[in-house]
Structure 1
């Protein structure tokens, strides 16, 4: 039986004026008929609030980001879809249940004539309504800022958001009677409605903007007309000169005259003025090389958007010029600047470009619009307007009586008049004495967590935008377009402060990390559990050299013997330094698909890694070969959509390989999942020794065709004592060749696969796909017509 008011009051060591309020707050947990449901919803709500709190407070300690993991977003989106109807039901139950009735003002310990009315909401109902409003303020955490196309999905999300805000406004203004309570909850509702209006305004403005939603089509028109502009401005200037590069960074929307049947008609003469900021103008400034390369990444990002939005692809002339610009001009500039090696600069530019793409399509914050103008409007002007609306709401809830309005805001809300801190102290003093108080502490903690999460979300959003690459590009473009800003001491000081804060708080991903999977180790069921490793410098340098070689083979070079085209490993074996010793192993590259070749060489590399350790001169090659081998195996197992060929076919190859490995280990699930790594190596290594190695047979499996460590070392023995280093150098070249080979693709399915992989954190093969897209490098067996535009719908 619940304790009587008198007996329960004697247990509380609180201010006498607070005892009645605490009793009312803990009353729902004394009702045995509803105790289990009330406790369950409090615990579930506490978990949800803790998740929001953690995402807002701790997710950006190590990395400033505007992108949320899709798995987390899916969980939160599902939770919020159930949150409103469940909470609405509990609200209605708390509102009509006599056990939760607010009672008289004396019992509550609250003052004011309005509190003596039994027609107002119960305390539990008000707590639930507070949760609903605070969670609605955090809704944007799970909704991406859509800036491309209208789409039913985008509008349906806005309609759902609008229905939630309207419904909660109905709950606030039709159920609360006391002026002070209505004003307090009305303020929270006004904040929710303002966030909705802000989101709709930003989304619709972006979709209709030539600088954002329509920018891909504008850039397509600009690049088509750019050859007419370049001879006028630069004559016969070197196409690989960054100082002469006319790729648009910002301001290209100022050139639009009108929309025509073949795209936008542009006034190209404005490109020579301060109205348009180009890469060349940025490069002619005296800014830090890192900032210049960031602007180059932004310009390349604008070019890449055409690939994701089914617009006409780059022409042969454009890819040739871009190839010279990136592989020649930018790398030479990095070497001349002396801040970082050429290969590091290349991957830095590609990584920044992919980050721009990721944040553009998957950001949960309006980071795309970060600029000085947006900061002023969104974080200075808009809060002033919202503050005025809140004041107006307070006054309207008291029928226009201004003095009474602000007095009732304090008098009608006991937690405001007595202080939420005092209430919390009272509950903590009595948490051991009563389980009812313990669960009430949970309810109060939920309010604390949600409130702190809301405040922190607003602060962190401003910080993220201020430290974002978008804001930095906007600042650099603004300074470049307005020379008088550069002459202003105030603006120069502010700019240096932003750069200093950004350099000290934002951690640049200078290292490229890649997932590592070994099929001869314990099986992994999820890519999330796989370890990661950094991409070695030797691998970066070799990848750059191979792309340069592929560019020469495609006609980008001049004079000399053209290097062989991209291949699935055979080209590496035919190199002068490997041909005599290792070309006999070229049959291992004769498989029908690249997935099989990857698995064959992966198993061979894994076996050799355990059997033979190289001399010091071969350790860098060994590191490159092992890490790229494990990364390619990860692509086959978990990212088949990023590899050439059909996705289902790649999955079948990997499934067949697992069945072969299971048969080699004994044919049982137990032996497959729980056998040691040493056992796996020994069993697999023993299989190929029983079969002839000269030519592959149609019935040979992936494991059957794997070159053994003995065969690799025997071939390397022709090199004398340096055979071990030679083997690892050969394997490193094979894996570099394979990684470069699988990256180019003109298939729309692969482009969508890369776009979906961005929100997962990006992939090395995606960076190389971006580079191949810009430079026009393709595989010889890619039969798609790259120069044929995909259907574009206006």
Structure 2
């Protein structure tokens, strides 16, 4: 084999050498660009679209990106390092040697790697959990992040060592050391926070303490049914406790009661009246602390404690007697929504664990500011270099001199492929750090912490004007990015009679997407109405009252077991079809504004259809059965619509639709048939007593139905719903839990109450 000497290069040999180098750089650049795009999507979802974080496809991307990062980085670095210094390439039967310089290329790749890992740490969650039945929900920062940081740090140290051997290592220290110092600091803070929170009575071990505390309060709460219960807000770590078989018990004060001087309880917060709240909504801040206290109680259910262990029915007298009896229909649900936001933060973010020590948030903000400063420097530097390179015609990622051709010097690749990913990732890191800093400054966790500290130190803080001014500013701070509860409800329809012709609606037909709408105030009023009724303790699924109002007898009851309806899911679909039939009935006068009852009934009807079709795990019936039932009803419903002349014709003629749904009784689906019969009765009621009377009946039915379906022991399904941004039925599930309702009564038989199933 011939090794080419000086001046002996052929044109073909030089061409083969160039193809070899270009091919390697092309593969490296493709990996860098593709990885940057995936990381960008991950950061965007993790920081600004967390409701999509738990979608199966998104989870697949997260897992794939985490798994492939180290192999990709190792391949890229080894490929670049292999081209540093002497390079030998085989051309036919000849070996061509060259000297190549890749210092710039490998430096930018390592900077890229540091930014990728900083972004990953920012979007990772740490959970300090405590599960009574052994389900492991205590989650430290992902171990893969630590492994990646160790391996990348080794590559940096190795690279700087080689640079020192070449007598210019000092050039790379200020470039590579700062980002990896920030990365290591972030990981250490998160691991320290997780370790501290896991053993804290206010975080990891809190459910056991709450159970013991509620046990001690039972006698006191039983004797004061309408008093404000002293539910714990903060301060558990300042209290002396004793370990008991089923939790912790707090120290007694002279044997006469609980020594809670170190605790901040909700009654102490609600008694606070101070000018610090004059520029804030006092009611809102007090409700926020109450939400935090309820969050700690609800966590006991997620830790698999029973409702009896937390004393739920005795402990929450504040909810029905203060919140449910007022005219503010948004307040009670707002308290529960804030509670579920706290729950979301606890299980799906790093924020709560960092409050296990008072100085952790300050340290985290400081590290985030350093990270932002470095990232902004990268953005400015890369922008300047890209502009300079563009003005000079570009610069290569590698510079090679071939031994056999002393006059041959060439740049390979383009540094744009290195600078562009660094620029993009630096911008993403800045956005992630801005959001993380906003979390510490404006989050509800900070507000609750400040309020409770003020309660404990009211006498001293009242004498400090600057403290009061600072606290007032922080309490007024709002950030929409931190609101995890979206207050929206998905809508779905079996028959889809009211099809719109807007461009968005047409796009929805081509790409089936759920119709997600803000929960109307009419819906909130409707679902709270039964809870405020003294007779709601005899709750039912609403079928009995609906059948009584429509004067349905046992022989023509569309909800009876003899008609095929045996579960909550098919009951919902029967009533949903009937609601759709009444909805398309022409109103008099035409185009009048929808009443509150109609809005509540139609929205709850479509929402229940969505529950059956897409999230049946939130219902008591079998998941697969619900999905198959919905598909069968939808399939035969489309055929019935076709027989009625299509959706538009059926919408203008509900009588024809009823006939189409009832056609061929021997092959018609029982849900469609029963829904048509019920819809016919509703149309008759609207003709006799007015349309508003029919909508009022339906609104009452749907509100009772969803409250009847909400209680369950399926905590995991509701945890997943909270991760996705929340469901209305989860909101009601939490509300009913605090009212002591965790199961539904056995439905009456048709003989006992016509129409009940």
What TM-score, normalized by structure 1, do the two folds share? 0.74
Do the aligned residues in 2 keep the contact of 1:49 with 1:446 (CA within 8 Å)? no
| Whole-Å separation in 1 of the counterparts to 2:437 and 2:24 | 43
Which residue does 1:217 correspond to in 2? Answer: 208
Q: What is aligned with 1:281?
A: 268
The 3 A distance-change label for structure 1 pair 163 and 54 is closer
Relative distance call for 1:275 and 1:119 in structure 2 (3 A) is farther
Listed as ranges, the gaps of 5+ residues in structure 1 are 1-26, 102-116, 336-340, 391-414, 555-563, 784-794
The answer as to whether partners of 1:431 and 1:438 remain within 8 angstroms in 2 is no
Q: 1:588 aligns to what? A: 559
Contact 2:354 2:360 (C-alpha < 8 Å) held by counterparts: no
Give the Å deviation of 1:213.
Answer: 0.6
Residue matched to 1:711? 681
Are the counterparts in 1 of residues 233 and 289 from structure 2 also a CA contact under 8 Å?
Answer: yes
Inter-partner Cα distance in structure 2 for 1:129 and 1:316: 52
Change (3 A) 1:536 1:147: same
Task: Map 1:620-639 to 2 at 5 A.
Answer: 620-639=596-615
Distance in 1 of aligned mates of 2:351 and 2:119: 12
2:318 & 2:547 partners in 1: Cα distance? Answer: 30
Q: What's the offset of the Cα at 1:246?
A: 0.7
Give the C-alpha shift of residue 690 in structure 1. 4.2
Q: SS state of the match for residue 233, structure 2? A: strand
- The DSSP-based 3-state class of the residue aligned with 1:129 is helix
Query: Is the aligned partner of 1:781 residue 2:751?
Result: no
The SS at the match of 1:138 is: helix
Higher mean C-alpha deviation, range 354-363 or range 369-378: 369-378
Structure 2 distance, partners of 1:526, 1:224, is 56
Match of 1:443 among 406, 418, 428: 418
Stretch deviating more after TM superposition (69-78 or 347-356): 69-78
Larger helix share, 1 or 2: 1
Q: 2:284 aligns with which of 271, 290, 303?
A: 290
Q: Deviations over 1:327-346 (max 9, x none)?
A: 222344xx4xxxxx432111
Q: Using the TM superposition, give the Cα deviation of residue 167 of structure 1 relative to its aligned residue in structure 2, in angstroms.
A: 1.0
Q: Does 1:312 align with 2:306?
A: yes
3-state DSSP of counterpart to 2:204: coil
Where in structure 2 are the equivalents of 1:170-249 lying within 5 Å?
Answer: 170-176=154-160, 177-178=162-163, 179-181=169-171, 183=173, 184-228=175-219, 237=224, 239-241=225-227, 244-249=228-233
**Change in 2 beyond 3 A, CA 1:434/1:85:** closer
Deviations 1:66-106 (A, max 9, x none): 877323455234223212211211210111026997xxxxx
RMSD, aligned CA:
4.1
Q: How many residues align?
A: 664
Tell me the residue number matched to 1:545. Answer: 529
Question: Aligned to 1:429, which of 383, 388, 391?
Answer: 391
Are positions 1:76 and 2:72 aligned together? no
**Shift in Å at residue 265 of structure 1?**
2.7
CA distance in 1, matches of 2:620, 2:285: 35
Aligned counterpart, 1:374: 360
Are the structure 2 counterparts of residues 152 and 187 from structure 1 closer, same or farther at C-alpha, using a change threshold of 3 Å? farther
Report deviation, 1:775: 0.9
Partner of 1:17: none
CA distance in 2: counterparts of 1:712 and 1:360, whole angstroms = 46
Match of 2:517 in 1: 533
Tell me whether 1:498 sits opposite 2:466 in the alignment.
Answer: no
Counterpart contact for 2:221–2:314, Cα < 8 Å: no
Cα 1:776–1:526 change in 2 (3 A) is farther
Map 1:121-132; keep pairs closer than 5 Å. Answer: 122-132=103-113
Unaligned 5+ runs, structure 2: 1-16, 88-97, 164-168, 398-410, 500-504, 749-757
Report the equivalent of 1:569.
Answer: 543
Q: Tell me if the contact between 1:514 and 1:535 (Cα under 8 Å) persists in the aligned partners.
A: yes
TM-fit CA distance, 1:426? 1.5
Equivalent residue, structure 2, for 1:409: none
Does the 8 Å CA contact 2:140/2:191 hold for their aligned counterparts? no
Name which of 321, 329, 348 aligns with 2:322.
329
3-state SS of the aligned residue for 1:38?
helix
Instruction: Say if 2:658 and 2:680, in contact at 8 Å, map to a contact too.
Output: no
Residue 734 in 1 paired to residue 695 in 2? no
Shift of 1:300: 0.6
Distance in 2, Cα, partners of 1:67 & 1:753:
15
Q: Kindly tell me: are residues 136 and 715 of structure 1, through their superposed partners in 2, closer, same or farther at Cα, counting changes over 3 Å?
A: same
Distance 1:188 1:686, change over 3 A: same
How far apart in 1 are the matches of 2:674 and 2:585? 19
| Residue number among 434, 439, 454 corresponding to 1:479 in the alignment | 454
SS at 1:706's partner residue?
helix
Shift of residue 438 of structure 1?
9.2
Distance across 1 between alignment mates of 2:639 and 2:369: 70
8 Å CA contact 2:234–2:452 kept in 1: the answer is yes
Q: Is the 8 A contact 1:618 1:728 kept in 2?
A: no
Aligned equivalents of 1:773, 1:677: Cα separation in 2: 41
Query: Quick check: 1:593–1:645 contact (8 Å CA) kept in 2?
Result: yes
Secondary structure at the aligned position of 2:558 is classed as: helix
SS of match in other structure, 2:673: coil
How many angstroms apart in 2 are the aligned matches of 1:452 and 1:99?
33
The residue that corresponds to 1:702 in the other structure is 671
- Give distance in 2, aligned partners of 1:75 and 1:712: 49
The residue that corresponds to 2:625 in the other structure is 649
Report the CA distance between 1:552 and its aligned residue.
4.3
Which of the numbers 686, 692, 712 marks the counterpart of 2:659?
Answer: 686
Q: Report the counterpart of residue 303 of structure 1 in structure 2.
A: 297
The 2-side partners of 1:365 and 1:496 are apart by 22
Q: 1:640 aligns with which of 611, 616, 640?
A: 616
Structure-1 separation of matches of 2:139 and 2:551: 63
Once the two structures are superposed, residues 124-155 of structure 1 have per-residue CA deviations (whole angstroms, 9 ceiling, x without a partner) of 22222221121111112442222114987867
Write the deviation string for residues 15-52 of structure 1: whole angstroms up to 9, x where unpaired. xxxxxxxxxxxx99994333542342243144235436
The CA deviation at 1:582 is 9.9
Residues 426/437 of structure 1: CA separation in 2 closer, same or farther (3 Å cut): farther
- Partner-residue secondary structure (3-state), 2:672: coil
Change in CA separation of 1:534 and 1:134 when aligned onto 2, cut-off 3 Å? closer
Question: Cα deviations across residues 707-749 of structure 1 (Å, max 9, x unaligned)?
Answer: 3544322244443xxx22211111111111211111112x3xx
